[in-house]
A and B are shown apart, each in its own frame.
Chain A
Amino acid sequence: MHNSILRSPWFCGLMIIAFFAFVIFALIPVYVPRPAFIPGFAPPPDMWPRTISIIGAGLGILLFILALLGRMGESEVIESDGAPRTVQITRFIGALVAFTAYVWLMPYVGFLVASMALTGAMVLLTGERNYRFWILGLSLFGPILLQLIFHSALGTQFPVGILTKQFGF
């Protein structure tokens, strides 16, 4: 992903312009309603987000122009294991899938099991295969230990799963 379009200042500028334009023209009109009555000379609720977004879009345009003129420095190269960009993108998507699956699985398997699965998945996604005992310990006993600590010390009730509640977690 290093030296890619994503890391170039002009692309960054375009993304920033697009984001703030979306906020100004799509989000603020719908999601920042103006109340019927505003006391005194108080500015309306959309004043501040609109001001921020207009300045943000302006700075995005400035960044884009400076990048085109070659006034923005090149991005630093990210240190990596030298894997091709497609592999790096696949790894990123893998992490996103793991995060999404964690939130999606939670109601079914409960907080404890979902956290075990996510921790294990994360260790494997880092490419670590050497410390098998530690990986197993971290993924299985780490969440159990933390649940015991938080439950006994702070009284936190973690969500149980539809499929696992008969086992108590």
Chain B
Amino acid sequence: MAHDILYALQAVATWQNLLIMAAGIWGGVIIGAIPGMTGTMAVTLALPFTFYMEPVPSILLLVALYKGSTYGGSVSAILIKTPGTASAACTALDGYPLARQGKAGKALNMALYSSVIGDFISNLSLIFLAAPLAVLALRVGPPEYFMLMLFALTTVAGVSGNSLLLGLISALFGLLLATAGEDLYGSFRFAFTEDMQAGLSVAPVLIGLFALPELLKLIVFRAAHKNEAAKLGDQKVTRSEFMASLKSILRGSAIGAVLGAIPGIGPSAAAFFSYGEAQRTSKNGSNFGNGELEGIAASESANNGACGATMIPLLALGVPGDVITGVMLGAFMIQGLTPGPLLFQTNIHEVYMLFIGMLFSSVLLFFAGKVIMRAFSHVARIPQSLLAPLVLLLCLFGIYSIASSMFDVAVLLIMGVTGFIMFLLNIPAAPFLIAFIIGPMIEENLRRALAISRGDPSVLISSPITMIFAVLIVLVVGLTVRREFLKSRNRKA
């Protein structure tokens, strides 16, 4: 094992890899700092470039973008009260009041320190938990995998948007679209044109679904905000201020690591939960929302704390927990690597390189954040009316370059329109995308399970593991329905 780690350390610590990670972190921070640009967009836009890279650097680039954008989301939250990403919404509650008090630099620094610590702890949780989980996963068969993926889909459907029902319908759309093309036994399904015989590629579907609807929303509704960014002002976080927030940082990191590892939960929920806990237990709880550094620390440590942990189910089980890890699953597959328990047997060097690279990226996040802080106030002011068409341009060139296919470009545009219509119908896009990516795996495992059991569907609840997942699915559905019922009752009251 020590030999493997040393080998991986040597392989990762090259100038080329460090530059790729630094570029990813910087790019992520800049994209995350721009309101309307999300981490998902950062990762999806970079996907076409990874086709031409080695497997590990390409995944490290995407991970670095993910981490950078999660931190970057706090920048616009603090400077212009517009969270760059959903997970930074809590950061705005205390960050913007601090900026108004002339302490934007202090708030950004606290966000950076908390993000780096949360990120590092999250990486450690990934390193120590992924391998044991993968060993456990090796003992399970197609029925267990099918139920696990069904559980992940149900959870994602439950937490995306305002309605479980619409989330599930969205997932079904994704599953249906994933059936297009050649099936397990060579039959062509929904092959309306010759290009569709190979099915739809992941990249144009996901980039179209996530990047283009923002442009269409801007065109149709034209609700772009004109933002005035605050000046950085007082920058230094004192030792006593840091120590006062340390407990919230560590607790937020732990919350992020735990919630991030559960499929469907992700950084946003972790940040809200951590913020609430910090407010409940802090002696400055009453000051939360008025410019409390501890509030920023709790929120930022949790959202970055979830980043590494979301990779646990992806690497150990091959199940993406959110959209970004869904994109990464696509990137792994493009590179010829199949995430899941077998990855730890067949590609152990790559796994160690990934782990070490992720630890490096935590350190890089600190330096990138420090260096780029001065430019933040300019980045947050870029108008969306220029940004959204630029994103479209990047999508067009990026998607065409993947397979030199105009069909993929057409799919990109069609999925953009589809995403916009889904937005109008209140149907969340995240379950659609995750279902589209894991759809072939779900079907394969279901068909294998049915073939093994000679067509008996009770095989899906015949072992203790499948029964546990069945109970969890019922529990998730029950809890979500109850939450929606209570919300609806409160609204009527």
The interface of chain A, by Cβ under 8 A from chain B, is 1-2, 6-7, 9, 12, 15-16, 20, 23, 27, 31-35, 38-43, 45-49, 52-53, 55-56, 59-60, 62-63, 66, 71-73, 75-76, 78-81, 83, 88, 91-92, 94-96, 99, 102-103, 106, 111, 115, 118-119, 122-123, 125-128, 131, 134-135, 138-139, 142-143, 146-147, 150, 153-154, 156-159
Contact across chains for B488 and A73 when beta carbons are under 8 A apart: yes
Using A128-B386, A150-B401 as known contacts, say yes or no to A103 and B406 having CB atoms under 8 A apart.
yes
A106-B392 in contact given A52-B172, A52-B175, A150-B397 (Cβ < 8 Å) = no
**Of B184, B389, B420, which is in contact with the most chain A CB atoms at under 10 Å from its CB?**
B389
Tell which of B49, B397, B443 has the most Cβ of chain A within 10 Å.
Answer: B397
Measured CB to CB, the nearest residue on chain B to A78 is B221
Of the residues B179, B224, B454, contact of A48 by C-beta under 8 Å: B179
Q: Are A122 and B176 in contact (CB under 8 A)?
A: no
Indicate which residue in B168, B187, B397, B447 contacts A32 across the interface (CB closer than 8 Å): B187
Known: A103-B413, A127-B222, A159-B406. 11 other contacts (CB 8 A): A7-B424, A45-B189, A46-B189, A47-B447, A60-B169, A73-B163, A95-B215, A95-B220, A126-B388, A131-B385, A147-B397
CB-CB < 8 A to B394: which residues of A?
A: 146
Which residues of B lie under 8 Å from residue A126 when comparing CB positions? 215, 218-219, 222, 224, 384-385, 388-389
A59-B168, A154-B52 known; A43 and B455 CB under 8 Å? yes
Q: By the criterion CB–CB under 8 Å, are A92 and B220 in contact?
A: yes
B451 in contact (CB, < 8 A):
yes
Interface centre among A33, A56, A73, A122 (most CB of B within 10 A): A122
The residue that A154 contacts in the complex, of B220, B223, B401, B487, with Cβ under 8 A, is B401
What does DSSP make chain B's interface, helix, strand, loop or mixed? helix
Pick from B192, B386, B388, B416 the residue with the most CB of A within 10 Å. Answer: B386
Instruction: Chain A residues near B217: list those with CB within 8 A.
Output: 78
Given A88-B220, A123-B389, A126-B385 in contact, is the A42-B424 Cβ separation under 8 Å? no
Decide if B389 touches A119 in the complex (CB within 8 Å).
yes
**Chain B contacts of A75 at CB under 8 A?**
426
Q: How big is chain B's contact interface, by range?
A: 35 or more
Q: Kindly state whether residue B33 has any CB partner on chain A within 8 Å.
A: no
Q: Give the residue name and chain of the B residue nearest to A88 (CB).
A: B220
6 A/B residue pairs, CB under 8 Å, sorted by A: A59-B169, A75-B426, A81-B223, A88-B220, A131-B383, A142-B393
B392 proximity list for chain A (CB < 8 A):
118-119, 122
| Chain A residues near B332 (CB-CB < 8 A) | none
| Least Cβ–Cβ distance between B417 and chain A, in angstroms | 7
Contacting residue for A91 out of B220, B453, B454, CB 8 A: B220
How many angstroms from the CA of A103 to the CA of B411 in the assembled complex?
Answer: 11
Q: How far apart sit A77 and B215, CA to CA, in the bound complex (Å)?
A: 18
